[in-house]
Structure 1
């Protein structure tokens, strides 16, 4: 079918799910290597709504039009987040199921249940002492930096971004080391889509142990506050609130640290800030959130009935994925209408917008500043083009971030 002729008819394109042509494979290495080229091609061929596969045989519609995404994200009546009808026909071993399946939490609920879960989560997050959190990040950062500062080289993901993010999350959630190791393994399997069903089960088991511990020995942490909340969450509900906190806090923050450091080391506008230039870490953070957000595609909904959007019929109960990256870079916005510090969708919008953005900003910015203060002459150890990106339909994540620097003496431990 001729694309130009198809667009002249308001419904000629039919449904992205049932597209006669090939769907874009978001799990492919080619997409991970250059997603922005892929978005340009998607926009040229399909417009704002794109037929994609999240994994082999799992179709979805990807939204890459900014204004279309905002409309969808602010319309939970037509675009609810409950996937239970969809997942009835999805095999349990599907690698993306743990990222999309129904859970009794705010991310996958609607109406009064969504409000109940969201209030419990927002209240527990609001009680985090941000001043004390500065010290938590610093206490996590210094031993990690000391472990490699004398070597003159490091991988900033495996040796810094991941262990720091995970360690800070464990402190905020009150999770001891023996439980947190199972959490890390389970989360990795879910995000990588490798043995995701087993990772999901491992994660649930570990979080049940954490909930059991905190019911008997509460502390000043998110888990204990969720347990004490007037919502009176059951053990199962508690597990799935914690899945959300770990899922939203671990992978995205790790990627945001790495992607921002990459920008600051390779872009002339920011590279000077490694040596105390005029542009701040916060400027770089906002640029990454706008141009290359750590969760490129997510904010999933499942229309209750067929609905016509932008001349395309979206089928009932099939996943609609918002591409925060694709939408942020939508040429329809115009350079002057929006700026990288104002309108990006990296935190989402509407009733499912992230309630922890201030916490995330603090952790990521402090982590970057601690590292740059300690190793101001750090350089990327390879050409940017040689870096590899992890395949996957949701995240924007480097495999590794190798750097070099003059060997330095260890920092004083607080």
Structure 2
């Protein structure tokens, strides 16, 4: 089946149920240009594949379809070829990059991170709070994470908006995506050159100083990976959680009276509305079988994170109120050797949670400005976020940095 079409963003839950019913937990799919791949939607199968980096490495050089892939293939940037960064390396080289990245991120002070997020969230809200209306995706959720990440990475605040524009142009995947990628890369290389000469208390400086000895190119690529992987999922985690709280009656009382349900909303989003729906990918190192399917050496396996999260064989969603309190056994951060590093998850959670808290503190009567059924998702099988989230509220005066 083609890995495209409106149902991936209008009704993915039913679509994954139908896939599983018709094909089982490993689904044959076609990528653009009729390129074959496997989409893994079974929880147990996902655990097996992500937990076996020898049989299913993240090594795109193994792909048996490269001769059929044109240079302008739209998914080429997502699947990529091996580059010397934490995202694309494998084996000992991957562990070398991961050691430096985890160390650099672990040193981010969570109290300072929250303070940065509160300050930047207030700045963004100040820009629209007096209007009584806003479009929360473009005005807030798609800006806050990258502004915070830019600051902790080592960029001056003045460069944050430019980096945000480049990241969001890149995320749109339109005609400007290639040029945005070039701007994004150039900014990281300039930052590395600056921090090599004048190090500070930031992620870039700590990467450069790590004893594994990353060179400037490796550091720039790792910083690109950290920022790109941290921005859009955090933005959509924030946006999807706010959407849930504004559209689900279970959260209505909490909008104006307390924060206890913010964490519940965020966890539910990771189970049922996860920002990264499909992740590319793993490649079979040799012929094997999984769930009755014959997987040929070099086959691409796409990780259907949302499909696995909703697998009824391991998680019974019936008979509960929709919450998954205390249960974080989802695949929203993947699993195994190539999963999202734990300190990166903590940073994303602080940014998203603080962004929601500041928004609700500042605009306690916030409500949707359009009927719920008119809300639209970005048209992607791989990513799940709102295209727009129009809201209204009682106009308030800007804080002007007085928090």
Give the TM-score, by structure 2 length: 0.91
Match of residue 234 from structure 1: 215
Alignment of 1:202-217 (within 5 A): 202-217=183-198
Q: Deviations over 1:20-65 (max 9, x none)?
A: xxx2323x33322221122122112111111223434343211110
Structure 2, unpaired ranges of 5+: none
Alignment of 1:8-407 (within 5 A): 23-26=1-4, 28-86=5-63, 88-89=66-67, 90-101=69-80, 102-176=82-156, 180=160, 183-195=163-175, 196-277=177-258, 279-298=260-279, 300-335=281-316, 339=324, 341-355=327-341, 356-407=344-395
Distance 1:135 1:277, change over 3 A: closer
> How far is 1:109 from its partner?
2.0
Q: Deviations over 1:267-326 (max 9, x none)?
A: 111222111157421111111011111111115111112221000112322321111111
Q: Distance in 2 between matches of 1:53 and 1:398?
A: 25
Q: Deviations over 1:90-118 (max 9, x none)?
A: 32322211121122222222211111011
**Is the contact made by 1:272 and 1:278 (CA closer than 8 Å) also made in structure 2?**
no
> What SS does the corresponding residue of 1:25 show, helix, strand or coil?
coil
Q: Distance in 2 between matches of 1:189 and 1:304?
A: 35
> How far is 1:378 from its partner?
0.5
> How far is 1:397 from its partner?
1.2
> How far is 1:370 from its partner?
0.2
> How far is 1:181 from its partner?
5.4
> How far is 1:165 from its partner?
1.2
Distance 1:382 1:105, change over 3 A: same
**Is the contact made by 1:182 and 1:206 (CA closer than 8 Å) also made in structure 2?**
no
**Is the contact made by 2:62 and 2:285 (CA closer than 8 Å) also made in structure 1?**
no
Give the TM-score, by structure 1 length: 0.89
CA RMSD in angstroms comes to: 2.1
